[in-house]
Amino acid sequence: MRFLFFILSLFATFTILATEINVTYPREAFHLQLIVMRKKGLLQKEFAKDGIKIKFHDITSGLKQAKAVAAGKVDICGSINTSSLIIAAGQDIKLNIIRAVCNSTDTWGLMTTNSNIKSVKDLKGKTIASVKGGYFHQLLLAALAKNNMTIKDVNYIPMSNAETYDAMLAGKVDAGVLGTNKMLDAKKRGGRVLIKASDLMRANLVVAVIEAFAKNHPDWVGRYVKVQNEAMEFIKNHKREALQLAAKDLDISYQDAEWLYNNTKLINTLNKDEINSLKDDIDFLFYQKLIPKKVDILSQGAAVDILFEDFVRDQISICAVSSPSILDAFHNLRPGVLRHK
């Protein structure tokens, strides 16, 4: 009887200690570091030694990612666009940026298959689809604004990236905002880019967590950043293998994966220009009434500190440092490189 009680006690203890970290993994985005982290098992191996499991969640919409974190269903947004962070902050969902992923500005755009549409100006009165909220939505609004139009000048239909792709090719919508592999596929099937994101804005993808997660698990945040650094190093030294992993994961050709890589700037940090672009995005989204108030997603009041890289003054890493322990974790990861301002 005592032996049975001992076994049950061990099981109960294991159950209490066993835990998992939930990470978003948007399948339709090109985030090579995250692909390598998952497919090479780097993230899983890092936490397996502590009995912590990594569970990935395919949530493409940035705003849905933010809401999943706020609801406690997700711990880390592995790749989320900063526009969604701004809109989420406008809804009182405050996420902290702990790392940058990439700037994929050249792999997103407003497209059409309608031969009668030659420019964005020709979209007046036409039907346009895009993901509602976040980067897709902002790109559409910016394209219209550049041509002295608003969303009221078109028939706007909210759709997912995949739904927009299907609807545009079927002729059910006149134009749509598409990104990454869907943009490439649309080009192959007669789609034309009316305006690229790079003509309008920056498309920064970052890693983000909610403040409570950073406070409760500073070591986990530091270790996640460490693994992403390892993935960047792997990509640098084994580019072909990394792109093969991406091609298989996205179900595209190696050539397409290489095009996405060449047109995507992989980054670990955000530079000064990218930080300034966030401020411009906040102003624009407020003007477009996608947020009810001006927000500051880099606010120190939300337990976000800025760690400056010594070797490149204009490269900054925005890390959630809500306690000395998390700051120590980052110093241990990069001794002598990061300094607290």
Q: What is the pLDDT of residue 266?
A: 93
How sure is the predictor about 16, in pLDDT bands with cuts at 50, 70 and 90?
Answer: very low
Residue 261 has pLDDT above 80, yes or no: yes
Tens digits of residue pLDDT in 120-139: 999 999 999 999 888 899 99
How sure is the predictor about 252, in pLDDT bands with cuts at 50, 70 and 90?
Answer: very high
Cβ(213)–Cβ(221) below 8 Å: yes
Cβ(206)–Cβ(319) below 8 Å: no
CATH T-level assignment (fold) for domain 19-104+204-340: D-Maltodextrin-Binding Protein; domain 2 (3.40.190)
CATH T-level assignment (fold) for domain 106-199: D-Maltodextrin-Binding Protein; domain 2 (3.40.190)
CB-based contacts of 50, cutoff 8 Å, min separation 6: none
Q: What is the pLDDT of residue 338?
A: 31
pTM to 2 decimal places:
0.81
**Edge-to-edge strand list for the sheet holding 95-103:** 52-57, 19-24, 76-81, 204-210, 95-103, 265-266
Domain ranges of the chain: 19-104+204-340, 106-199
Environment class of residue 315 by beta-carbon count within 10 Å: exposed (0-12), middle (13-18) or buried (19+)? Answer: middle
Q: What is the DSSP string of 239-281?
A: HHHHHHHHHHHHT--HHHHHHHHHTSEE-SSEEHHHHHHHHHH
Provide the percentage of residues in the chain whose pLDDT is more than 90: 57
Q: Report the chain's mean pLDDT, rounded to a whole number.
A: 82
Q: What mean pLDDT do residues 67-88 have?
A: 93
Tens digits of residue pLDDT in 282-340: 999 999 998 898 887 764 433 333 332 322 233 333 333 333 444 444 444 443 333 22
Q: Indicate if 106-199 has the same CATH topology as 19-104+204-340.
A: yes
